[in-house]
Amino acid sequence: MQDSSCVLLFTCLSLASYASVPVAGTNRSLALLHIVYRHGDRTPISTYKNDPYPLSVWKEGPGQLTNIGCKQHYVLGGHLRNIYSDFITGDPHEIHVRSSDRDRCLASASCHLAGMYPPSGQWVWDAKFHWQPVPIHTRPVAEDPVLAPGEADCPEATKEAERIKSSPEGQLFLEKYHKLYVYLTEMSGSLINDWKTTERLFNALYIEKLYNYTLPNWTESVWSNMSYQNDQSFVFYAKTPLLQRLRAGPLLGDITTNMAAASENKSENNYKIFMYSTHDTEIASLREALEIFNNKAPEYCSTVVFELWHEGDDSYSVETYTLDAKHMDPQPLTIPGCGTQRCPLSTFLEVARAKVPADWSRECGLKKVFTFSTTELAIIAGVMAVLVLTVFVIGLYCACNQHNRKKRTIAYSPLPTDLSIN
What are the residues whose beta carbons fall under 8 Å from the beta carbon of 306, sequence distance 6 or more?
A: 33, 34, 36, 255, 259, 318, 319, 320
Q: How many residues does the chain have?
A: 422
Specify burial of residue 112 (Cβ count, 10 A radius: 0-12, 13-18, 19+): buried
CA dist., res. 36 & res. 38, Å (int): 7
CA dist., res. 37 & res. 108, Å (int): 9
Q: Which residues pair with 276 in a beta bridge?
A: 36, 98
**Residue 39 a catalytic site member:** yes
Q: Which of 194, 254, 280, 324 is catalytic?
A: 280
* Structural element, H or E, at residue 154: none
The terminus-to-terminus CA distance of the chain in angstroms comes to: 126
Angle between helices 223-237 and 195-210 (to 10 degrees): 120
With contact defined as beta carbons under 8 Å apart, do 60 and 207 qualify? no
Q: Is 84 helix (H, G, I), strand (E, B) or coil?
A: coil
Q: Which of 39, 73, 279, 310 is catalytic?
A: 39
**Residue 280 a catalytic site member:** yes
With contact defined as beta carbons under 8 Å apart, do 304 and 38 qualify? no
Q: State the catalytic residues.
A: 39, 280
